[in-house]
Structure 1
Amino acid sequence: MSADRGDGARGGPEPASRAVTIAAVTAPFTRDLDECLAAISRLVDGARRRGVDLLVLPEGALGGYLRALPPRGDDLAPRGGPPALDPDGPEITRLAAIAGDMVVCAGYAERDGRYRYNSAVCVHGDGVLGRHRKVHQPLGESLAYEAGRSFTAFDSPLGRMGMMICYDKAFPESGRSLALAGADIIACLSAWPASRTHAADDIAADRWRHRFDLYDQVRALENQVVWVSSNQAGTFGSLRFVGNAKIVHPDGSVLASTGTGAGTAVATVDVTAALRAARSGLNHLRDRRGASYEKQCLLAGEPYDPRRAARPAAPRPTAEHGSRPSRPAGPAH
């Protein structure tokens, strides 16, 4: 695990090398949970044959994403959306069993009492390693889901990790809060569609495909982390997804990509060496001046406290389930 924490300063002996084989998936997923789990099992089996340690599946890998975004579609009503799953239910247990000795991240619709969340879970054969609820909601998605409230780094057999979902990556604070909490690998799970207002015949020329790729490279570079980006593929309802799952080096270079079609991008990264190389000159976490802008940015959603502006952010708890909004941001589900 990297010794960079908070301000990026190193402490103690240099960590050992960590060669990690990472796979990022572009694939279609539907409402049929059994079909989704069978597809995930095939993807895990194929990845295992390639020596993969970390497999990142898309947003909505268990049960699919919304069929449409406002103003069309009935997915904004509870009956039309993806099946809402218990975060500790049988589907998550089965996902962990499929993962075995591999670390697997997958998206799903989470049920927590009256609330529904667009969530991601990171599992291993031993159980759940980390969770995330999508914080930033585009185009009326708040009518289908409640918003998450934080970004939480967690420990895994591969080192310290973090997750976010789709539109979360459009906000620099998302990745930065995870990097400050010590995440060396960040997984971004997406169901990122092509432009609906300026559709391109060739999806490779689509402007939202360009933005999807740009965010991936910039977030990896500005935080100097290993970035793993997955996405849905094909068409679901009225949405056409841009694909382009990829692994990005901490220097912002793309190590492997699926392109616009379905597939699995695989790359082996020595995480310790990659972070060391990226941070050996300009170390963005070390050199940042939080006191100059934290008050305005309200990083990680916390009120500004000048006493903490000069010290590193502490790692956050591994679970987000204990918190929920005092009142729903949208209809209760």
Structure 2
Amino acid sequence: MVRLAAAAAHFTRDIGFDLDRIKMIISHARDAGVSLLALPDGALGGYLTDLRGPDEDDLPPLLEPNGDEVRSVIDFAGDMVVCLGYSERGLDDGNGLVRYDAAVCLSGDGILGRHRKVHLPAGVASLFTAGDGFRAFDTPVGRMGLLIDHDKTFPEAARTLAVDGAEIIACLSAWPTSLTNRAPRMALDRQARLFDLYDQARAAENQVVWLSSNQSGRYGALHFLGRAKVVGPGGEILARTWSKGGLAVAEVDLPELVGAARTVLHHLAERRPETYG
């Protein structure tokens, strides 16, 4: 049996504040016996302040992929596997500076896996450079993959990780309420419905365990949903938070849970890729 957790939490431009909050969440997760923890996108440096007209003078700080901030989280993690998001400094082919919306999975032993957000929605595409693929990787908890935010809107993203052997997928988000038709109650918001729908559908269609973390609270013009959750391979929600910060913790027997889901109907084995055009 292993305990998995997804966090809903608020992060800011203040890296010192963010590191303190990450250390605190890891401590709470450790007290709960958690072996794998998914923190939100922008856990180091926060996210954007608006998606319709982002303030380019107030973007998340660009961090090195092996910089001091990431090394600090490695020190905090110890024997826990921790996933988190940040804005990554990179160089393009012409040696110019580029910005990636990035995620890293790590433990006290170092970096286990990385991902750069591939699908960039309107309002974000001009600020970030898209990643170039989806790759699963091995961890002490099991083989897993990472997605960021809008990536989960596209079934091909999660399916690529599952075909690559991932039995756990962690999707790290900074997902706000609707910008154009905000509901009077968050539970009725269109984006809240879609956020939950994608989490459950991607888990069920790939028969994987799905960790969905998200930012919470308000930042600039954005009101983040929270709604972190752990979803089983049948699309059932095993644990969740609501709009406020917290940890969704579920204890699972990963081989038994995934194996049972695939005993009769094995979606990956039943694929017919030669017919998909």
User: What's the offset of the Cα at 1:195?
Assistant: 0.5
Name the residue aligned to 2:209.
Answer: 226
Q: Deviations over 1:33-86 (max 9, x none)?
A: 01000000000001101100001000000000000012x231xx2x32100000
Q: How does 1:160-171 map to 2 (within 5 A)?
A: 160-171=143-154
CA deviations over 1:115-140 (Å, ceiling 9, x no partner): 11000000100100000000001122
Corresponding residue number in structure 2 for 1:91: 69
Is the aligned partner of 1:123 residue 2:80? no
Q: Give CA deviations for 1:141-188 in whole Å, capped at 9, x if unaligned.
A: 111110001011001011101000010000000000000000010000
User: What is the CA-CA distance between 1:260 and the residue it aligns to?
Assistant: 1.8
Give, in whole Å, the separation in 1 of the partners of 2:156 and 2:216: 27
Q: Provide runs of 4+ in structure 1 moved above 6 Å.
A: none
Please give the per-residue CA displacement for 1:288-319, whole angstroms capped at 9, x wherever unaligned.
101110xx3xxxxxxxxxxxxxxxxxxxxxxx
Which one has a bigger Cα radius of gyration?
A: 1
Could you tell me which residue of structure 1 aligns to residue 12 of structure 2? 30
1:284 alignment partner in structure 2:
267
Counterpart among 154, 160, 181 of residue 198 in structure 1: 181
For 1:284-303, list aligned pairs within 5 A.
284-293=267-276, 296=277
Question: Shift in Å at residue 111 of structure 1?
Answer: 0.2
Q: What does residue 22 of structure 2 align with?
A: 40
> Residue 73 of structure 1: which of 50, 54, 57 is its match?
54
Q: Which of 178, 202, 224 is 1:241 aligned to? A: 224
Q: Which has the higher strand share?
A: 2
The residue aligned with 2:233 is 250
Q: Distance in 2 between matches of 1:43 and 1:80?
A: 26
Taking the TM superposition and a 5 Å limit, the aligned residue runs for 1:5-24 are 19-24=1-6
1:256-300: CA deviations, max 9, x gaps?
Answer: 00012211110001110011110001100000101110xx3xxxx
The 2-side partners of 1:141 and 1:195 are apart by 15
Report the 3-state secondary structure (helix = DSSP H, G, I; strand = E; otherwise coil) of the residue aligned with 1:216. helix
Paired AA for residue 252 in structure 1: G
One-letter code aligned to 2:36: L
RMSD of equivalent CA atoms? 0.8
Instruction: Give the structure 1 partner of residue 80 of structure 2.
Output: 102
Q: Does 1:214 align with 2:192?
A: no
Aligned match of 2:160: 177
Deviation (angstroms), 1:243: 1.0
What amino acid is aligned across from residue 108 of structure 1 in structure 2? Answer: Y
Query: Which runs of no fewer than 5 residues in structure 2 stay unpaired?
Result: 92-96
Alpha-carbon distance between aligned partners in 2 of 1:20 and 1:150, rounded to the nearest angstrom: 28
Aligned-pair identity in percent equals: 53
TM-score, structure 2 length as denominator? 0.97
Match of 1:329 in 2: none
Question: Is residue 54–residue 123 contact of structure 2 (8 Å, CA) maintained in 1?
Answer: no
- TM-score normalised by length of structure 1: 0.81
Secondary structure (helix, strand or coil) at the match of 1:110 reads strand
CA distance in 2, matches of 1:201, 1:261: 17
3-state SS in 2 of match to 1:84: coil
Residue 113 (structure 2) pairs with residue 135 (structure 1)? no
1: CA distance between counterparts of 2:154 and 2:245? 26
Secondary structure of the corresponding residue to residue 238 of structure 2: strand
Contact 2:2-2:251 within 8 A present in 1 as well: yes
Separation of aligned partners in 1, 2:209 and 2:148 = 16
- Tell me, what secondary structure is at the counterpart of 2:174? coil
User: What is aligned with 2:94?
Assistant: none
> Structure 1 regions of 5+ residues with no counterpart?
1-18, 297-333
